[in-house]
Structure 1
Amino acid sequence: MTEPEVLGARFRDGTSDAVRIAYEQYSSMVYSLALRSLRNTADAEDVTQQVFVNAWRSRSRFDPDRSPLPAWLVGITRHAVADVHRRRAHAGHAQPVEIPETSGPDHTDEIVDQVVVAQALTELGPPQQDVLELAFFERLTHAEIAERMDLPLGTVKSHITRGLKRLRTRMEGTHASP
């Protein structure tokens, strides 16, 4: 059994330190997903805390044989983010944002890939993480990123190149192991 599988089983069984370890390993991923959609640090922090509280309270419904713990957390995050968007829309603060449905048996690999990419991005750390998120999630050009981050254009291009190489290495390592 792999380390993530052991953690998933311990989490489901309610082992006392499992929620702490899960939080340490996956809170940055949950926070990144929430922040990317909500664009508000306070809301993303609240969602992150809520996700782990909800996950711990509903751990009896978690089946580590059906999906890995990070994928389950992504599902809880998606629902928590959708709730925030609904509350915002109801309060008139923002238009509802469509959250793509990615759960279900046909999308397990897609969810795992999203988890791996989100986790790998957080492991890059700033400024490479910031530059890549602006390029791919906000679809900014290199020049727009340079202007927003107050960096030379060549530096932005270097961060993107090095960041993509590190992501590729991370992804190849993830998919190489069975």
Structure 2
Amino acid sequence: MSAVCTDAPAATDDELARGLAAGDETSLAAAYERWSALVHALARRSLGDTTEAEDVTQQVFLGVWRGRHGYRPERGAVGAWIVGITRRRIADALSARTRRADLAASAGTALALAERPGRRGEDTEAVLDRMVIRSELARLPAPQRQVLHLAFYEDLTQTQIAERTGLPLGTVKSHTRRGLRRLHGRLTENDTA
């Protein structure tokens, strides 16, 4: 039985970029093989945690695949593009870490208040859920935040919100829909972070 030589010459960066843009999974595998060690090293050095670095590495190459049509060779080499994605994912991971720490500190304060004598203790998960939702609501644009606050905290209908704010009913509905969509996206992002 004769051995088959599978050592094909390595694709150039330009060939990989063209393959990625064309949706070639082999090009993605080659890009992963070529740059995953660098991506992991950058993430590990920045985050100080191997598990987080592995997560970031997966997110980077998922981002490479999903964003492959956005790569512009005239703006730089494909390796530099991947490093740029890596830097953004590292920043996202650091932000998520900060949010988790802030929420944990806030939750600790809220739990301490909830457990004071004479107050009914609340389930820890319920307190954390409320803290996360309040935090994410605060990040929404003011019109969306106001409409959602009136709907969920003051239990007003969209018609009542339109009357109270002076906004047209259609605008209230649009702000509600956009706000809920953004809130859902941010909460889903927090779950995966």
Output the TM-score relative to the length of structure 1. 0.49
Bigger RCO (CA 8 Å, 6+ sep)? 1
Output the TM-score relative to the length of structure 2. 0.45
Largest Rg, 1 or 2: 2
